[in-house]
Chain A
Amino acid sequence: MQPTPPVLLRALTKRFGEVVAVDGLDLTVHDGEFFSMLGPSGSGKTTVLRLIAGFERATSGTIELDGQDVTATAAHQRDVSTVFQDYALFPHLSVLDNVAYGLRVRRVPKRSRHEKAREALALMRLEQVAERRPHQLSGGQRQRVALARAIVVQPKVLLLDEPLGALDLKLREQMQVELKQLQRRLGTTFVFVTHDQEEALSLSDRVAVFDQGRIVQIGTPAEIYERPASPYVAQFVGTSNLFDSATSQRLFGIARRHGLRPEKIQLHHERVPDAEIVVEGVIAESIYLGSEIRVHLQLDDGTQLIVLERAGEHTEHRGEKVVASWSRRDLVPLTDEKAS
């Protein structure tokens, strides 16, 4: 028998007036996994999170948390905690009282709730700011207070709504590591909303890619990246060269849409005999990115190709004629947008 999933959505739909934000969604989140909902803004991922938390009421469909139907249950009676995008720390309470808030409403006596709040703060390495007010903290500290406040009540599921969006790059990378470690240590199920594909790929056990209120693909980061199901996913997650069926037919003899990751292509100065697929073209642009070089290749038939090379391996110049090669297994057959 399958264990009860912490989150189970069935035909979940949410309409705001005429706008369909979530469109008949079915989703199972497994126990203890780091699950990400990835999509551009307006794709419905945040609405799904808010539906799970209970801030929005579903138009139709059901939400089950740990086997219980909570579709009509108020937010404060659901065993989930949210880390808000703007952190939503209570400005009139100290950091310690913010973290202890969930315990206070559960009528935990003052001494033991402060003890637990201090433990949670220690976990986030924030003991030294316990007495401060939220407005006296830096963005990264506020973020960690919000996390401490959410985990101190030991929720079954932790919901995170673009929690790293407001942080600068360095801090964001550091928080990603901390989030991952925290999730591993607590073993709590994380449902993470982000529009940053890199973040989703690096943190998650599984990723759901959203488009217009639907999940267009769900799978491990490797599956999503290596085997995108549709042109939309192929382009939203990382960069892809897309070939329509006519171009595919012309280049390698299969009449079907295909995607190809730029780093799977090798560039050569002369013809290579052992490569499976070989094309010729002229370098239209060569952009130095530090660790990599992005080469825009104009094929003889007019097709544009983007190639990523490790910096220092090759030195191609604009206008130079080169040969590009890749192997057949790196080609990703794509279904048509409508069929997905």
Chain B
Amino acid sequence: MSHRVGALLGRYPALRLGLLIAAPLTWLVAVYVVALAALLVTALWQVDSFTGDLERTVSLENLKTVLTGELYRTVTLRTVGVAALVTVIDVLIALPIAFYMAKVATPRRRRILLIAVLTPLWASYLVKAFAWRATLSDGGLLEWLGTPIGLQSPGYGLSAVVMTQAYIWLPYVILPIFAGLERVPDSLLEASGDLGGGPVHTLRWVVLPLLVPAVIAGSIFSFSLTLGDYITVNIVGGTSQMLGNLVFVNAGAANNLPLAATIALIPIVVMLGYLAAVRRTGALDNL
């Protein structure tokens, strides 16, 4: 019997492949595609403003609201701006750290740094966000450190959100850049120096071009994770709102699930746009 099954599988490679990926594929379809489809469908429904009941009729009313509403445009721009700023800050911090880890540090120091980068990932997101809340508060650590040199804590608000998010997502940016740098052979850096290229030239013409895929991989993490965040904004954002807050409020307090679903489509569209733009540069070919 088992012999015959083996022969059958050997004869039909498609059957073999099908059996192999059936389980993960089912999971992927059920959890990912169906959930996304449900989101899309929900976005087309309405809520009866009088009774608060869900009306399962298709209409583009929500879409129109979101596309034309001043509030949504402002919040979208703010959210994308914050995500972009967080990404730029993270990449700027991650590059030198990753370079030191991959190319300069002794193996022992590299291990220590790697652990230092990874450890915060084990701590709860909430703990980290509240730690920043304490740091940024009146009489908090930042004020205590900043006052003697004439600096003030930014307090709660958008800049606090940027700082906190940049901190929380930093490991996700360091790790791919570190991995990308490790793949760059030392001899390439030596060759650049050998041909007369100083450190700046080598960085500009050899290291950075080779790192583009890794930087983009890291930026996808920090950008998309910031785009969907609402907890940090609630904790250190003061009165400012991001897209996540609008979703949260509409799905909860405002009892308007369809509108929440429509708003949730915005970061998805933005992310798809970002990926398409990245794809055009050819950077994803090397992932």
In the complex, chain B residues whose CB is within 8 Å of the CB of A9 = none
Give the distance in Å from the alpha carbon of A280 to the alpha carbon of B201 in the complex.
70
- Chain A contact residues, CB within 8 Å of chain B: 53-55, 74-77, 80-82, 84, 86, 88-92, 101-102, 104-106, 149-150, 153
Interface residue? B205 (CB, 8 A):
yes
How many B residues have CB within 8 A of the partner chain? 17
Q: List 17 A-B contacts (CB under 8 A).
A: A55-B193, A75-B194, A76-B195, A76-B196, A76-B197, A76-B198, A81-B194, A82-B191, A84-B187, A84-B190, A86-B187, A90-B188, A90-B192, A92-B210, A101-B205, A102-B197, A105-B197
From A55, A80, A91, A153, give the contact of B190 (CB < 8 A): A55
Closest A residue to B202 by beta carbon equals A76
From B194, B198, B205, B206, give the contact of A80 (CB < 8 A): B194
Give the distance in Å from the alpha carbon of A55 to the alpha carbon of B197 in the complex.
13
The answer to whether B209 touches A92, judged by C-beta atoms less than 8 angstroms apart, is yes
In the complex, chain B residues whose CB is within 8 Å of the CB of A89 = 191
Interface residue? B69 (CB, 8 A):
no
From A74, A86, A153, give the contact of B195 (CB < 8 A): A153
Q: What are the 3 closest A-B residue pairs judged by CB atoms, nearest first?
A: A102-B195, A88-B187, A88-B191
Q: How many A-B residue pairs have CB under 8 A?
A: 67
Give the distance in Å from the alpha carbon of A150 to the alpha carbon of B194 in the complex.
9
Q: Closest CB of chain A to B9's CB: distance in Å?
A: 36
Interface residue? B185 (CB, 8 A):
yes
The answer to whether A76 touches B185, judged by C-beta atoms less than 8 angstroms apart, is no
With A101-B205, A105-B201, A105-B205 in contact, do A88 and B196 touch (Cβ < 8 Å)? no
The answer to whether B193 touches A75, judged by C-beta atoms less than 8 angstroms apart, is yes
In the complex, chain B residues whose CB is within 8 Å of the CB of A74 = 193, 198
From A53, A104, A106, give the contact of B194 (CB < 8 A): A53
With A101-B205, A105-B201, A105-B205 in contact, do A88 and B195 touch (Cβ < 8 Å)? no
In the complex, chain A residues whose CB is within 8 Å of the CB of B190 = 53, 55, 75, 82, 84, 88
With A86-B187, A88-B188, A92-B210 in contact, do A105 and B194 touch (Cβ < 8 Å)? no
Closest B residue to A81 by beta carbon equals B194
The answer to whether A106 touches B210, judged by C-beta atoms less than 8 angstroms apart, is no
In the complex, chain A residues whose CB is within 8 Å of the CB of B191 = 82, 84, 88-90, 149
In the complex, chain B residues whose CB is within 8 Å of the CB of A77 = 196
In the complex, chain B residues whose CB is within 8 Å of the CB of A105 = 192, 195-198, 201, 205
With A76-B197, A76-B198, A90-B206 in contact, do A101 and B185 touch (Cβ < 8 Å)? no
Q: Closest CB of chain A to B144's CB: distance in Å?
A: 43
Most chain A CB within 10 A, of B193, B201, B209, B210, is at: B193
Closest B residue to A50 by beta carbon equals B190
The answer to whether B209 touches A76, judged by C-beta atoms less than 8 angstroms apart, is no
Contact with A along B52-95 (1 / 0, CB 8 A): 00000000000000000000000000000000000000000000
Closest A residue to B187 by beta carbon equals A88
Closest B residue to A146 by beta carbon equals B191
